[in-house]
Copies of this chain bind each other. A is one copy, B any other.
């Protein structure tokens, strides 16, 4: 049916929008206030230190993040200027390495991230609702078949 959303559907949708926007914003702010890292910086550095112990081929970074090549290229350029990482090599030997400054920042950022996630999501769910809620989120996320992970 090509019908518009009913009033209650719309109310649910607005709540969804508010909830997802607010959580994203709160997490981003907590990390930015603590470390100055943007969400994109955080994603890149987290992958780098978690998965690669601080160093990784750009190719692999692109795959793991599920990002456009151009997006990653521009992001890494900005991060290099800010001293968060360094790049060398070319072709399949294009290597990205977190600087000490980048590694320090992401260590702090991960704590801020955990704090914000708990405060805005985990702690907001009543204990008796948790199982159902997370099961449903998983069902919704399953629609994102061929998609990325961002942390």
- Which A positions have Cβ atoms within 8 angstroms of B? 2-5, 9, 12-24, 26, 110-111, 113-115, 117-118, 120-122, 124-126, 129, 132-144, 147-151
Closest Cβ of chain B: how far from A109's Cβ, in Å?
Answer: 11
5 smallest A-B Cβ distances: which pairs?
A22-B144, A19-B141, A18-B141, A19-B140, A20-B20
Whether the pair B129, A15 counts as a contact (CB closer than 8 A) is: no
Closest Cβ of chain B: how far from A4's Cβ, in Å?
Answer: 5
Q: Which residues of the other chain, B, contact A4 by a CB distance below 8 angstroms?
A: 110-111, 114
Q: Which of B21, B129, B140, B149 contacts A121 (CB 8 A)?
A: B140
Other 14 A-B pairs with CB < 8 A, given A15-B138, A21-B148, A120-B140:
A2-B111, A5-B113, A9-B114, A12-B137, A14-B151, A15-B141, A17-B150, A19-B137, A19-B141, A19-B144, A21-B150, A126-B136, A129-B136, A133-B133
**What CA separation (Å) do A140 and B110 show in the bound complex?**
22
Q: Which residues of the other chain, B, contact A9 by a CB distance below 8 angstroms?
A: 114, 117-118, 122
